[in-house]
Each structure stands twice: as structure tokens, then as C-alpha cells.
Homo-oligomer: A and B are copies of this chain.
Amino acid sequence: MTVGRFRSSCPVASVIVLLLLQVLLIPAPTEASPDRCRQVRSLRDEIAGYRPVVERVLSYVQDQKGYKGKTWTALSEFTDTFGSRLAGTQNLENSIDFMLNRLRAWHLDNVHAERVIFTGWQRRKEFATLVSPRVKNLAMLGLGGSVSTAPEGIRAEVVVVTSFEDLINKSSQVSGKIVVYNQPYVSYGETVVYRSMGASAASKYGAVATLIRSITPFSLNSPHAGQQSYSDGVKKIPTACITVEDAELLNRMYNRGSKLEIFLKMDSKFFANATSRNTVAEIKGTTNPDKIVLVSGHLDSWDVGQGAMDDGGGAFISWNSLVVLKNLGLRPKRTIRCLLWTAEEEGYIGAYAYLKGHKSELEKFNLVIESDEGTFQPYGIQFHGSETSACIMAEVAK
């Protein structure tokens, strides 16, 4: 299993290229070595032969008279119209219906939805207040999948930790307390483990709740939401994110020896057998219609924003890539299938459902592309796959 990273000049967006199974296995990355790529030298001419097509696509999407700005405009209308699209809400179902109509209106092939059944989670009333040594409301967001507090809430003393190591050092003080994590932000990928595992780690030592510094380098009284999951065998305790500045404030007060007390009240709802839909559209391939290149993003979002970046942008560049080919009358050899996943935020629920439903056809998927890291100026392509595939990607990305 080989993983390569290549600089790309792709003007549409940063994308992650993955083979479907390997998304779920998460392989260890190694660099594609030029020496190992000798075997694909015979492919160079074919790849180079597509240059005129690439140029045509690029000039079309960069030209004001062509497709330039159309994806952004469509996305802004979509997010402005539907707002947040949490899995299990009417907002999401309405936006899926809208997308199905839109994809049909563009005369894409095989437009349909595939049902996904899951247990949903919904935020209801929630708040956190520092009550001692002074009263201060803490801006917070309960984390996806968090249990509620008792209806009367929790009032408890606070232990502030700055890392999992620090938690272990202070573990004898944690029982019956609210643990506040004030871990420094390193990167989303590295730091998010505090959000996803923080509650379980503290619950092991008897914490009654956790409040976790938002996984962001910066906030303006704006906590950041996200999913978390409980480890097996630990008591499920309520958990929420607080802002960077409040985490720092609590840390400073704690380090000065103040006895901190927080009152926390959280109420969320789980609903089993919720349904939603993965949305599918295609351009059928000419010579190899049974081989599939999958391009994808997710339509659902958290409940506290408009989901324009996470992941409206990814979803819209995916289906618009089909529209661009259609508009230019370009027909690929393989089928290009666009997947707009559902319930991604709750833990890739739509993707897992799709994998389960299509397990028998896995060998058909030649390439799976997902974009969910924001649609900024692209800085590269991340690729997981065989050494041969890595070499082909390296050649394409040149």
C-alpha cells in the first residue's frame, strides 16, 4: 500500500483521492518513489495526450463567459436558501430533493437517491456558566452524540488539564469534577483527538462532564461543534466545546489556585431509525461504463452554520465537475459517478451505508475522490492507493 502527495495545479479545489476500502482502513503514508514508477512510462503518452482536453476544461472554468463563478453562485443560493442541514432534519431532506431536481435538470444520467437509516442526534437547550469565583456565561456547543445532563443540570468543581498526560497526572483529583481541556491547537488533524476522545478519557477517572477547548486556532466567542464518540466500557458523560478564550481564562484562574465551579445543563435527543439519502448522478462512460470514477462531497452539515465550507463547497465542485464535462460535450471512457453523501457529520454514516450496499461491486471503483477539507486555493492532492495507482496519479498531477 503506497501513499503519495503531489503538488497539483488543479484550479477547482483541493481534493482527497482515495480508494474506497482504504478510506476506511487509513493506510500509513509513504512517498511514491520516481524509481518505482518506471513501469508506468508506457502510460505517459496517453496521459500527455489529454492535455488539450485539460486545457479546454481549464479555460472554460476560468472564463467569465464560460463557467467561472457559476459554482460559487449556485452554492451561495443553495446555502442561503436551506441554511443548516443536520442529518434527520427537514432542511436536509428539502435540500436533497432540490439537488435531485437540479441534477435531473442538468440531464445527468442515473440521477437517484439511496436510502440511509441511522440513529440521529439533535441539540436542544444547553448552557454552561462559571458560577464561582464569579458568574460568567460560557459560550458552548454540545458535541454530537453527547448524552444530556440530568434535568436539573450539574454543578461541580473544575479541574483544568492541558493534555492527556496532564489528565493522567491529575487523575486522582478528577472524580466528581468537570474536566476542562485547554490543549494547545497544533493542527485540526492532531488536536481533534481531544474532542473525539476527551470525554471518555476523563470519564475513566470519574469526571462528571468535560468541556473542551474548540479545535481551532482562534475564536471570537464562537465555539466549534463536532462529533465525539464514547469508548466502550466507560460511563457516558455530557461533553461540549467551549471557546479558546474561555478555556484560557479558566486555565489562568485554575493556575492561580482559584476554586472554580461550573453549572452545566445539556439536553439532546437521540432518535433511532431516522432516514436520509445519499444522492447519486452520473455521466455514463463510453468504452468502460462499468468502471467507475467516483467524485464526492457531503450535503449534510452541522446545525449551527450554513455548511458552505463543510461541505457545500465539496459537494458543489463534485456535481459541477460533471456539469462542466456535460456542457463541453466531453464523454469519459469510464463512468463518472457523483455521490453527495448524507449524515457525514455523525461519523460517515452515508459512506458506510454506501460501502455496505455496494460491497459486491467494489472492484468496479477505479478511483474515489472526496473533497471535504474546504474549497480554498488548492495546495495538493492526497492519495491513498496501490503503488501503480500512485505512479499514475503522479504522472497526471505533473
Q: Residues of B contacting A134 with CB < 8 Å?
A: 81-83
A78 to chain B, nearest CB (A): 12
Asked if A55 is at the interface (CB within 8 A of a chain B CB), the reply is no
A80 touches B253 (CB 8 A): yes
Interface size class of A (residues with CB under 8 A): 20 to 34
A220-B220, A222-B222 known; A77-B256 Cβ under 8 A: yes
A77 to chain B, nearest CB (A): 7
A240 to chain B, nearest CB (A): 16
A83 touches B136 (CB 8 A): yes
Q: Residues of B contacting A222 with CB < 8 Å?
A: 220-222
Q: Residues of B contacting A304 with CB < 8 Å?
A: 221
Q: Which of A182-233 contact B (CB under 8 A)?
A: 219-222
A76 touches B252 (CB 8 A): yes
Q: Which residue of B lies closest to A245 (CB)?
A: B306
Q: Which residue of B lies closest to A84 (CB)?
A: B136
Q: Residues of B contacting A1 with CB < 8 Å?
A: none
Asked if A249 is at the interface (CB within 8 A of a chain B CB), the reply is yes
A155 to chain B, nearest CB (A): 20
A80 touches B220 (CB 8 A): no
Q: How far is the CA of A134 from the CA of B84 in the complex (A)?
A: 11
Q: Residues of B contacting A220 with CB < 8 Å?
A: 219-222
Q: How far is the CA of A133 from the CA of B80 in the complex (A)?
A: 10
A19 to chain B, nearest CB (A): 36
Q: Residues of B contacting A83 with CB < 8 Å?
A: 134, 136
Chain A 56-94 against B: per-residue CB contact (8 Å), 1 yes, 0 no? 000000000000000000001100111100000000000
Q: How far is the CA of A304 from the CA of B252 in the complex (A)?
A: 20
17 A-B pairs besides A80-B252, A83-B134 with CB distance below 8 A are A76-B252, A77-B256, A80-B249, A80-B253, A81-B133, A81-B134, A82-B134, A83-B136, A219-B220, A220-B220, A220-B221, A220-B222, A221-B222, A221-B304, A221-B305, A222-B222, A249-B306
Minimum-distance CB pairs A-B, first 7: A220-B222, A220-B220, A221-B222, A80-B253, A222-B222, A80-B252, A83-B136
